[in-house]
Amino acid sequence: MPEVSNEIRSDREVWTAVEAEAARQERQLELIASENHTSREVMAAMGTVLTNKYAEGYPGRRYYGGCEHVDTVEDLARDRAKALFNCSRANVQPHSGTQANMGALMAIAEPGDSVLAMSLDHGGHLSHGHPKNFSGAFYDFHHYGVEQDSERIDMDRVREQALALRPRVLLAGASAYPRTLDFPAFAEIAREADAHLMVDMAHIAGLVAGGVHPSPLPHALVTTLTTHKTLRGPRGGMILADSDIIKKVNSAVFPGGQGGPLMHVIAAKAVALKEAAQPEFASYARSTVENAQALAEALAAGGLRIISGGTDNHLLLVDVDSAGLSGREAEDRLHAVDITCNKNLIPFDQRPPMEASGVRLGTAAITARGLGVAEVTQLGALIVEMLREEQTEARCERVRGAVAELANAFPIYA
Ligand SMILES: Cc1ncc(COP(=O)(O)O)c(C=O)c1O
């Protein structure tokens, strides 16, 4: 774990839990597709005096005095975001991906306007129209999904739905879709339906930065992202654009949906954006996808069904019903041997969400700690064993040992 000197660790209750979490992360192999391990420098930036500063507003136009240094930090973050994603405008203040989506939607639609987005059951996100989320409460969401046979988005079907609905916003992006998103086709449909195209690239931002997923920036009116998934930054959100729509975005973020920005997190975003611009990050993004493909192959070779037959990005969905298990059971079996993942609905799932028929596996975090195709193939065989074979104590102990060997060989914060 990054050092915090012992003199300032007086709160034993908190630091004991933090140390236990650091040990858990080192010990377990993290396959939750939305998580990652940041660099020490990203974490260090979050633990700075910038957390003390109120900076409502934007650089050069703040409501508080003493903002000259935090202005420098926010300008660095904005400039690096624009350079990395090749766009002309950026808002780096959203506290999370959900708040980035709130800022973007408030900027391009009025309450009650219709939005066409990916169905939550087929891989969309809560902030894409769940009735209990702001999005579903304030906008009129309609959804497209994947086709039953291919388990992929059929752009002709999206076009039919968009032309019938004529939504204010067409929203592309997902939490559990393993295939490349066709942004030019989404843009064409948005044009035909007279809708604004919004892209939520929360999951794939690091792949876009690393050049292994096409960029939505040339096509979307606004693009949102999270900084903590494949991008390997601090927990947070961001909104990118290429036009004056950013003025509406800026006032939708502050004062629309948030108060003072988290300047310590914005500093960490700046650090992460610089890291993501290095050539090593492109190799990391490439390895993340290669590892996901190797994992999909290993699981398929072991008789598990992979949704849509494979993956183009950092995640895969495994139909564990093909091993006679529910997603919850599969998650528990893997957790018992220090492999962390989450149960997930699969398209046209017959089980309820808390049970589900699939697990979602992602390779961003294990790639960050250095696992390559050989180790991931080995990990795939261990997963097959845990999901397909009888669970004896001896087996669990052996697999736990093999996972520990992999984890020890690839420490996160050596
Ligand atoms: C596609 C998508 N959008 C938005 C979010 C929301 O991010 P946050 O949890 O930071 O609000 C997520 C998180 O998983 C996501 O997958």
3-state secondary structure the chain: CCCCCHHHCCCHHHHHHHHHHHHHHHHCEECCCCCCCCCHHHHHHHCCHHHHCCCCEECCEECCCCCHHHHHHHHHHHHHHHHHHCCCEEECCCCCHHHHHHHHHHHHCCCCCEEEEECHHHCCCHHHCCCCCHHHHHCEEEEECECCCCCCECHHHHHHHHHHHCCCEEEECCCCCCCCCCHHHHHHHHHHHCCEEEEECCCCHHHHHCCCCCCCCCCCCEEEEECCCCCCCCCCEEEEECCCHHHHHHHHHHHHHCCCCCHHHHHHHHHHHHHHCCHHHHHHHHHHHHHHHHHHHHHHHCCCEEHHHCCCCCEEEEEHHHHCCCHHHHHHHHHCCCEECEEECCCCCCCCCCCCCEEEEECHHHHHCCCCHHHHHHHHHHHHHHHHCCCCHHHHHHHHHHHHHHHHHCCCCC
Task: Compute the average pLDDT of residues 191-217.
Answer: 98
- State the distance from the centre of ligand 1 to the C-alpha of 174, rounded, in angstroms: 9
Cα 107 from Cα 53, distance rounded (Å): 27
Task: Compute the average pLDDT of residues 200-226.
Answer: 98
Ligand 1 touching residue 314 (CB < 6 A): no
In this predicted structure, what is the pLDDT of residue 349? 96
Ligand 1 touching residue 98 (CB < 6 A): yes
- State the distance from the centre of ligand 1 to the C-alpha of 54, rounded, in angstroms: 26
Contact present, 86 and 217 (Cβ < 8 Å): yes
Task: Compute the average pLDDT of residues 382-403.
Answer: 96
Ligand 1 touching residue 34 (CB < 6 A): yes
In this predicted structure, what is the pLDDT of residue 414? 78
Percent of the chain residues past pLDDT 90, beyond the cut: 97
- Residue 2's pLDDT band, with cuts at 50, 70 and 90, is low
* Average per-residue pLDDT for the chain: 97
**How does strand 89-91 pair with strand 237-241?**
antiparallel
- Residue 3's pLDDT band, with cuts at 50, 70 and 90, is low
- The pLDDT tens digits of the residues spanning 127-143 come to 999 999 999 999 999 99
Query: Which segment of 1-10, 291-300, 382-391 scores lowest on mean pLDDT?
Result: 1-10
Domains of the chain: 44-276 (3.40.640.10), 282-409 (3.90.1150.10)
Q: Among 36, 105, 125, say which to mutate for ligand 1: greatest number of ligand atoms within 8 Å of CB.
A: 125
Q: Among 95, 101, 122, 175, say which to mutate for ligand 1: greatest number of ligand atoms within 8 Å of CB.
A: 175
- The pLDDT tens digits of the residues spanning 77-126 come to 999 999 999 999 999 999 999 999 999 999 999 999 999 999 999 999 99
Other residues' Cβ atoms within 10 Å of the Cβ of residue 38: 25
Cα 154 from Cα 312, distance rounded (Å): 16
- Is 70 exceeded by the pLDDT of residue 7? no
Query: Which segment of 8-12, 215-219, 245-249, 270-274 scores lowest on mean pLDDT?
Result: 8-12
- The pLDDT tens digits of the residues spanning 54-82 come to 999 999 999 999 999 999 999 999 999 99
Ligand 1 touching residue 96 (CB < 6 A): yes
- Residue 324's pLDDT band, with cuts at 50, 70 and 90, is very high
Task: Report the nearest-CA residue for atom 6 of ligand 1.
Answer: 97
Q: Among 127, 143, 229, say which to mutate for ligand 1: greatest number of ligand atoms within 8 Å of CB.
A: 127
Task: Report the nearest-CA residue for atom 3 of ligand 1.
Answer: 202
In this predicted structure, what is the pLDDT of residue 332? 97
Ligand 1 touching residue 125 (CB < 6 A): yes
- State the distance from the centre of ligand 1 to the C-alpha of 305, rounded, in angstroms: 26
Compare 344 and 4 and report the one with higher pLDDT.
344
Ligand 1 touching residue 202 (CB < 6 A): yes
- Is 70 exceeded by the pLDDT of residue 1? no
In this predicted structure, what is the pLDDT of residue 4? 58
Q: Quick one: which atom of ligand 1 is closest to the CA of 176? A: 16
- State the distance from the centre of ligand 1 to the C-alpha of 16, rounded, in angstroms: 29
Ligand 1 touching residue 227 (CB < 6 A): no
- Is 90 exceeded by the pLDDT of residue 6? no
User: pTM of the predicted model, to two decimals?
Assistant: 0.97
- State the distance from the centre of ligand 1 to the C-alpha of 393, rounded, in angstroms: 37
- Residue 8's pLDDT band, with cuts at 50, 70 and 90, is confident
- The pLDDT tens digits of the residues spanning 339-352 come to 999 999 999 999 99
- State the distance from the centre of ligand 1 to the C-alpha of 354, rounded, in angstroms: 19
- State the distance from the centre of ligand 1 to the C-alpha of 119, rounded, in angstroms: 14
In this predicted structure, what is the pLDDT of residue 9? 82
Percent of the chain residues past pLDDT 70, beyond the cut: 98
Ligand 1 touching residue 97 (CB < 6 A): yes
- Is 70 exceeded by the pLDDT of residue 168? yes
- Is 80 exceeded by the pLDDT of residue 294? yes
Ligand 1 touching residue 179 (CB < 6 A): no
Task: Report the nearest-CA residue for atom 7 of ligand 1.
Answer: 97
